[in-house]
Structure 1
Amino acid sequence: MGVNSVRFPVLLLGVIFVSSLISSETQVGLADKVLVFPYETDFSFVTLIPLKEMGLRAFTLCLRVATELPEERQIILFAYRTADYDELNVWREKDGRISFYMSGDGTFFNLPPLTTFRTSLCLTWESRTGLTAFWVEGKRSTYQVYKPGHSIRPKGTIILGQDPDKHLGGLEAVQSFVGELADVNMWDFVLSRSIIQAWHYGHKVPKGNIFDWATIEYELNGNVMVVDDD
């Protein structure tokens, strides 16, 4: 009886601790904030809630990223998955290239390396021609033609920090993001060069109509920190 009376509160505390890791509340707005993923896990991620459904035939995705993970370590930078498909994933591959996947094989770009110093990174794609490009520090890569005629499916989940190998599951620590992410914005059209460059320099640009960092709805899961963007 005495042993059980000791064990019960310990078990109860354990349940409370686990619940605190997996529970999340919707929060709003990350203006002047940065997300810090301090170490690799298979449980830490941020869910972004878009302003509109992600049924897309064009987009611009912009973010600022810093990491000290070595180049031989694959890193997920952005993941959007529906029940059956990785609809839109952005990676840094083990060979250092930056890749972009939509529902199958991806396309790969040789870009300046991601480092401990923050890099502004944008990705543009439109279905009509398949033209896609990355923009690093306001400078465009060469165009590649990738999946003309394709459509991104709606009713999925957007995740930062992890790659779900199935819908909201199958997370792996060795693919997790470690570092800092900030100023994540997305539009359902291709921004002009001048607007992408203005965003890079921190000037005022049209708010992202899929998500806007200042007003974004998000949910924290696991060990992710929100800190002032000094």
Structure 2
Amino acid sequence: MPLWLMLWIAPVFGQKNMREKLFAFPVKSSTSYVRISPDHNGPFREASVCMRFHSDLTWGYSLFSWSTKTNVNSFLIYYYPGSGNQFYQEVYGYNHRYYLQDNITEWTSMCVTWDSSVWGLFIDGKYYKVNMKTDVEISGDPIVIIGQWQISHGGGFYASWSFAGEMTDVNMWDKALTDENMMDYFADNEMSGNVINWKALNYTLHGDVTIKPYVDPYPCVHVVL
């Protein structure tokens, strides 16, 4: 096969500082997603994922899917908009639904955290916390995907469960973030994950996902007195 043809059909990939950039998913699809290569694979007995996203979808979509050969839903984050208005979190067979007070209609900043005793969702300044006894460990070579729910390890995607919209500032840590950590993330205080780092991201684009500039919809305004 000619080299130019191999380059044309290969997924777009790279490692780069994604600051002030976003991934745009134009429509629900079973073929569009971003695969991320984490900086290390664990094992994890606690973890946190933060991101910012916007979508006009009125039915459910997957935001983050960490799959291993031993458990396809090692770490899953899924959102149900509309009347249900809930986030679904799954860690190695355990799961919880967070019922939100307000519907998400604009750009949203979100952190999901987990350790052996407490799970939490911090979203737009509101903290939802639950006591969950989950003495589990996530280990093994992962496949990490944003924008799709892995039904099988690395695949089995359904368009009806996929994400359409825009996503940025995706970071992951191998620890449960504190309340102060999450507030720092929301305040854009230059927090970077040590498992997935948005400012040094290893990724491959698949399908119709594109990279676009990200402009903060809620910039800080400095008042001069």
User: 2:74 is paired with a residue of what secondary structure?
Assistant: strand
How far residue 23 of structure 1 moved from its aligned partner, in angstroms, is 2.8
Q: Distance in 2 between matches of 1:21 and 1:44?
A: 14
* Structure 1 runs (4+) greater than 4 angstroms displaced: 19-22
AA aligned opposite 1:47: R
Q: Distance in 1 between matches of 2:210 and 2:130?
A: 36
Q: Indicate which of 100, 113, 119 corresponds to 2:89.
A: 100
1:60 paired residue number: 48
**What root-mean-square deviation, in Å, do the aligned CA atoms of Structure 1 and Structure 2 show?**
2.0
Please identify which structure carries the higher helix content.
1
- 2:115–2:176: 8 Å Cα contact kept in structure 1? yes
Task: Check if 1:190 corresponds to 2:176.
Answer: yes
CA distance in 2, matches of 1:193, 1:220: 33
Residue 126 of structure 1, CA deviation: 0.8
Residue 181 of structure 1 pairs with residue 167 of structure 2: yes
DSSP 3-state at the match of 2:42:
coil
Gaps of 5+ in 1: 1-11
Count matched residues: 208
For residues 156 and 91 of structure 2, what CA distance do their matches in structure 1 show? 18
Cα drift, residue 148 of structure 1: 2.2
| AA matched with 1:139 | K
Q: Counterpart of 1:114 in structure 2: which amino acid? A: I
- Structure with higher Rg: it is 1
Out of 120, 130, 136, the position equivalent to 1:133 is 120
1:36 matches 2:24: yes
Q: Is 1:146 matched with 2:132?
A: yes
State the partner residue of 2:153.
167
TM-score (norm 1): 0.84
Is contact 1:62-1:120 (8 Å) kept? yes
1:221 to 203, 206, 225: 206
Q: Alignment identity in percent?
A: 25
